[in-house]
Amino acid sequence: MTVDFLIVGQGVAGSVLAWILDQRGCSVLLADDPALPSASAVAAGIVNPLTGRKLVHTWKADELFPFLHQFYSDIEKQLAVQFFHPKNIYRPFRSIAEQTDYSALLADPDVQQYVSQSVDNQKYSPYINNSFGGLEVTQAGWVDLTEFVRIIKGYFIRKNQYFEGRFDFSDLIIKGNYAKWKDIDIHKVIFCDGVLARENLFFDWLPYNPVKGQILTATVDNYSISTIVNQGLFILPVRPGLVRIGATYSWHDLDWQTTEDGRAYLENKLADILKVPYQVVAQQAGIRPSTKDRRPFIGMHPTQPALGIFGGMGTKGVSLAPYLAEQFARYLLDGEDLEPEANISRCVSLYHGS
Ligand SMILES: Cc1cc2nc3c(=O)[nH]c(=O)nc-3n(C[C@H](O)[C@H](O)[C@H](O)COP(=O)(O)OP(=O)(O)OC[C@H]3O[C@@H](n4cnc5c(N)ncnc54)[C@H](O)[C@@H]3O)c2cc1C
């Protein structure tokens, strides 16, 4: 048996890349071990073109956002499924000073194009502290990642192109320009192994800076807000009466365990925003595959032309993966250039052979 690509890891990165290569007509074998931890299984899946207190235009937002809306909606149409929920993000102001600061920021056309001018602040008032009003960020939303990963897995299982289990490096034989794995000849192996790439025999030299995150799920009776609320902390309505609340950021204690401190931090912040009672029903923790320079890791191994990586998606895998996977596919299939800021060639001085 021969395949064009073996994709190792099926979080959002592996799912998106496998889909794009499949749609380009390549034969793709997708492998994932559900027993291993996955950031995509924990993430809220939010896409937000303006982030932080200063409404910073996220990296390449003007390319990423139109692309991702089209990308996820096209899969929904093609497979007659639903997992993508375009929604505005409501940002209540914390003070008069903040309201004034935002008015100044809105003069910037780059920011303006992602902000709604007409916001019904009153509809939020019974639930959200918003005495100083607020604004809504447009072109935002969320991807139900559990559902998305399940749908893509089903698609490849139906094609008989899915391997469920651990990819073991000792099963891989590299033969110059191609590789052999379990008697399958593979043109290229692309690792989409998230933060586990730090233990990847071929890519462990890449400079990751992982960030642990925790998130709560809570019930809230009669909560009728359908947009995402964000004021340092997000409240994401996933279905009537159920919200996800997140997230924490921690650069130490990098395990996948939830903590009392994490929950207390989120609940303290929530007390400043949410006016109505809620009950926490679940808490989850994950590790974001963030990188030292906050740019993804994409490209081929410096000395092994059969091996590549598509990772380092950090805090924004859902918005980064579609556009960058399309670009990676064009690089692999059409010889086009990769985005230099995301290309792992920028880190090659750290590679000392392996
Ligand atoms: C609390 C929290 C909230 C977040 N919220 C958001 C958000 O709102 N929006 C957003 O865009 N991002 C968010 N993120 C970040 C997001 O989770 C990541 O950007 C994204 O999930 C990374 O996807 P990935 O596919 O690269 O890695 P992962 O999702 O970790 O997937 C890697 C996969 O590789 C598999 N794997 C690894 N090694 C092997 C092997 N040897 N054999 C077989 N399989 C293997 C694992 O099983 C796993 O399924 C959040 C993260 C956290 C922790």
Angle between helices 317-334 and 12-23 (to 10 degrees): 40
Compute CA distances 247 → 59, 138, 167, 204, 286, whole Å. Answer: 20, 21, 30, 27, 10
198 and 288 Cβ atoms separated by less than 8 Å:
no
CA terminus-to-terminus distance, the chain: 28
Q: How far is the CA of 192 from the centre of ligand 1 (A)?
A: 9
- Secondary structure (DSSP) of 134-166: EEEE-S-EEE-HHHHHHHHHHHHHHTT-EEES-
Q: Which regions of the chain are under pLDDT 50?
A: none
Predicted TM-score (pTM) of the model is 0.98
Question: And the tokens for 125?
Answer: 């008032």
Q: How long, in residues, is the chain?
A: 354
Closest atom of ligand 1 to CA, residue 38: 30
Pocket test for ligand 1, best of 17, 40, 198, 290 (most atoms within 8 A of CB): 40
Residue 354's pLDDT is 59
What domains lie within the chain, and their CATH numbers?
Answer: 2-42+146-206+293-350 (3.50.50.60), 211-288 (3.30.9.10)
Question: Ligand 1, atom 37: nearest CA belongs to which residue?
Answer: 193
Pocket test for ligand 1, best of 15, 38, 215, 316 (most atoms within 8 A of CB): 38
* Per-position b or e across 37-76, b if 16+ CB within 10 A of its CB: bbbbbbbbbbbbbbbeeebebbbbbeebbebbbebbeebe
Distance between CA 178 and CA 87 in Å, rounded? 44
